[in-house]
Amino acid sequence: MPTTPAVPDGKRPTLAHVAARAGVSVALVSIVMRGAYGASATTRERVLKAAEEIGYRPDTRARVLRSNRSRLLGVQFGLRHPFHTDLVEGIYAAAEPAGYQVALSAVAPSRGERQAVEALLADRCEALVLLGPEVPAARLAQLAAQVPVVSVARRLRPAPPAVDVVRTADDEGARQAVDHLVALGHRTIAHIDGGRAPGAADRRRGYRTAMHRHGLADHVQVLPGGPTEEDGARGAHTLLADAPTARPGAVLAFNDRCATGVLDTLLRAGVSVPGEISVVGFDDTSLSRLAHIDLTTVAQDVQRLAELAVGRAIARLDGEDVPDGESVVPPRLVVRGTTAPPR
């Protein structure tokens, strides 16, 4: 077999080129590329090897145009959210074995959710998986009238009909964090919240519930925050404005990014973690696992969230009878180096 591709310079390899390279018919190459029955294992291997040698790639867009289905799942994600990046990886892992491709559309400071969703619909996505959507529930209902919609990592009260919700039990995660800190001996525990970010209200409620359950209602301290490092830094500066003896011994931040802002601010102020103040994050992103951060955090089960989101979308597309309601995934606490007993 020749060692150079039998394709004219500058031309895209076609099925005919693969057939000539493998010494079989174009029809047989088509069968192999579609994964259909009709080719022996030996022939299939020879065709795939020939395709690889000449750089042939199936034209998926052309196939889409020839069919009534795109088999594309549209995923809206936040460009600046590490947790969304982890979710996207899980969605790919769940979608591709099921025969679906993933189209991504980012939300950024200069690009809103409406624009991100419209781009996915323009690409003929058959369903939408929205990570942490912040648009009103009525807007989600409008979208669900066009295509199946799965909202991930946001509680909807009540969820619009035909909008599937997959989320973590955020309140339980906050309770686990407080329980851990109380077990270490902490009594003064502050919470830098997430403002109006998805999940913030549940985490705030879980924190308050746990503090009351431990008889620490008088020590409840909720500081305005948000999902970014800057939000965490502002919350930490508020704590540092108090005298050292009046500062809390521990802080539960809204998420890992917020917690990172807290850690950076405390480090710059010469406050040791966890020697003087323990810090807990939320999400267990790759950021929290870095050796120089080593953040105690509440882990969301990314793989399970992704599997449920993709499964719900595909079930709707397949016409299955999917009951309305939420799929709620339990979190788990991951203890690392930013928490310790108080001095």
Q: How confident is the model at residue 2 (pLDDT cuts 50, 70, 90)?
A: very low
Instruction: Please write the tens of the pLDDT for every residue from 35-48.
Output: 777 788 888 889 89
Please give the mean pLDDT across all residues of the chain: 91
Q: How confident is the model at residue 4 (pLDDT cuts 50, 70, 90)?
A: very low
Instruction: Please write the tens of the pLDDT for every residue from 74-131.
Output: 999 999 899 999 999 999 999 999 989 999 999 999 999 999 999 999 999 999 999 9
Residues 142, 163: contact at Cβ < 8 Å? no
> CA–CA separation, 316 vs 166, rounded Å?
14
> CA–CA separation, 283 vs 83, rounded Å?
7
Residues 195, 231: contact at Cβ < 8 Å? yes
Q: Residue 170 pLDDT more than 80?
A: yes
Contacts for 297 with CB less than 8 Å, ≥ 6 apart: 256, 259, 280, 281, 282, 283, 284, 288, 333, 334, 336
Closest-CA residue to 153 (of 203, 98, 103): 203
Task: Report the percent of the chain where pLDDT is more than 90.
Answer: 72
Q: What is the pLDDT of residue 236?
A: 97
Location of structure tokens 């010469």: 270
Mapped onto helix, strand or coil, the DSSP state of residue 58 is coil
